[in-house]
Amino acid sequence: AARPSAEPGAMAEAGDSLAEEPAPQALPSTARPMKMTLNTGPDSSGGLGAVGYRTAKYLPHEWHQHNSALYHKASAGCEQAECSRAEAKELAELTTAAAQCTQQHTTAALGQRLQDVHLWKVKLQKVIEELDAETGLLATQKRRLERALNAIEIPYVIATDNLKCRERRQHPDLVSDEVERELLKELELIRNIQELLKRTLMQAGNQMRINRDHKEICEMDWSDKVETYSIDDKCERYSNQSTNIQFHPGTVRFEESTSTPETWTKFSHDNIYRAEQEKLASINLRALIDNILHDTSEDLRRQCAAVNEAFAKRCMELHEAKYKLEHYLQKTLKEIGHQETTIAVLKQVIKDKETPMKVAQTRLYDRSFRPNVELCRDEAQLRLIGEVEELTESIASLKKKLLESEQSLKNLEDTRMNLEREIAVKTNSIFIDKQKCMAHRTRYPTVFKLAGYQ
């Protein structure tokens, strides 16, 4: 048996006591004589003289000692073997029990591990299904955004066409009125909504990509869990009676890339946490998209109603202006007729004055040939002169009035032409606003279509 080793404390104390004793003086190094065992006992023949019959034989007591030593050694060997056998049996029983207990604990640990793996596998599968469903819902909202963006092209074309059509109005109807201001406001609103929908569409695409990435990460983790569950389930089913077990000496080691239970749990927990965070972000984005589509469609329809109201009001103003112009045109035409009659009457009156003028002037002319003293400025002469002067003034007044009437007629004709031209302008404006613009605006999409449901 091995000698028990001294404890560290005792060895330290012994070392201290030895250190305190004085060191012996060194002796010179010389070769010592070899020790010899001499038989010098009473029965020894060492002192006899060398004779020829002497041989090296054992003495009887040496023979007995030798046998006794063998007996003792055999007995000690048997006792030691018996003790070793008992210890071996006890050790075998202990190791067998320990192996069975360890195997049971290992099997239980594998069972617990299977439960843990199954738990995380179920959680991952749930998150994968929820994230996949959420991505599908987000894809639906993304399609709504695309349909809404396409539907908004129609209002944009309508507003642009209305502005271009109204550029064909004639002066003085080519004014920056309320309709134009509302159309410009509608056009700006459409552009802003288009930019908003494009940004939201890009955000939805990015969120879907992130959802798919996290879904793929969770699927890889879930796939590893499924494979691990299959491996651990097979390992749990192994027993001492299994026929497909064998030695694998090189497996009793830890791989460099192995994880700890804490990092293993944290890995799946972090994957699930990030997936749930992205799912929540996707839910919030879907709600945001719903609100954006609702608000933008309502804003567009509200602005469309404002533009239609401005068009209706403008058309009413144009109709009223056209009605008044037509009324004044009728009045002007009537006055033109009266003025033409007046001019004809004045011309006739002037013509009628020519005969009395001829009579009066002929009388004066003939009386100018009276001889000598008969050429008297009598009453008849004075009246004839007064008659000529009166007729001259009357004709001058009539001609002046005729000129005034003719100028008035010319002014009335100019007014008639202006009124007719203005009526044509108003008719053209009414045609553009009512027949072109308002008719085109009947194609404006509904709220349901602007919200992306169609």
The structural domains of the chain, with segments of one domain joined by +, span: 96-239+261-315, 330-369+376-449
pLDDT at 32: 44
Q: How far is CA 103 from the centre of its chain?
A: 55
Question: How many other C-beta atoms lie within 10 A of the C-beta of residue 432?
Answer: 20
The pLDDT > 90 percentage for the chain reads: 57
277-318 pLDDT tens trace: 999 999 999 999 999 999 999 999 999 999 999 999 999 999
Calpha distance 278→207 (Å, rounded): 8
pTM of full prediction above 0.75: no
Quote the Cα angle for 223-226-227, to 5°. Answer: 90
Q: Which of 140, 20, 30 is nearest to 453 (CA)?
A: 140
Q: Which of 151, 159, 150, 152 is nearest to 440 (CA)?
A: 159
Q: Which of 273, 295, 166, 290 is nearest to 221 (CA)?
A: 273
pLDDT at 115: 94
Contact 230, 337 (CB under 8 A): no
Q: Which amino acid is at 334?
A: K
Q: Which burial class, exposed, middle or buried, applies to 341 when counting CB atoms under 10 A from its CB (0-12, 13-18, 19+)?
A: exposed
pLDDT at 210: 96
Measured CA distances, 321 to 57, 179, 331, 413 (Å): 165, 17, 15, 20
pLDDT at 372: 83
Residues 6 or more apart whose Cβ sits within 8 Å of residue 292:
196, 197, 200
42-65 pLDDT tens trace: 444 444 444 444 456 778 888 889
- Tokens for 97, please give them: 């029990």
- DSSP code per residue over 299-357: HHHHHHHHHHHHHHHHHHHHHHHHHHHHHHHHHHHHHHHHHHHHHHHHHHHHHHHHHHH
The pLDDT profile of the chain, 454 residues, written as one tens digit per residue, is 333 333 334 333 434 433 344 444 443 444 444 444 444 444 444 444 444 444 567 788 888 898 999 989 899 889 888 998 898 898 889 988 988 999 899 999 999 999 999 999 999 999 999 999 999 999 999 999 999 999 999 999 999 999 999 999 888 888 888 999 999 999 999 999 999 999 999 999 999 999 999 999 999 999 999 999 999 999 888 888 888 888 877 776 666 777 888 999 999 999 999 999 999 999 999 999 999 999 999 999 999 999 999 999 999 999 999 999 999 999 999 999 999 999 999 999 999 988 888 998 898 888 888 888 888 888 888 998 998 899 999 999 999 999 999 999 999 999 999 999 999 999 999 999 999 999 999 999 988 898 888 7
Contact 302, 450 (CB under 8 A): no
pLDDT at 85: 87
Calpha distance 317→403 (Å, rounded): 39
pLDDT at 118: 95
Calpha distance 134→146 (Å, rounded): 18
Exposure of 255 in the CB half-sphere (CA atoms within 13 A): 5
Exposure of 257 in the CB half-sphere (CA atoms within 13 A): 0
Q: Which CATH class is domain 96-239+261-315?
A: mainly alpha
Q: Is 30 helix (H, G, I), strand (E, B) or coil?
A: coil
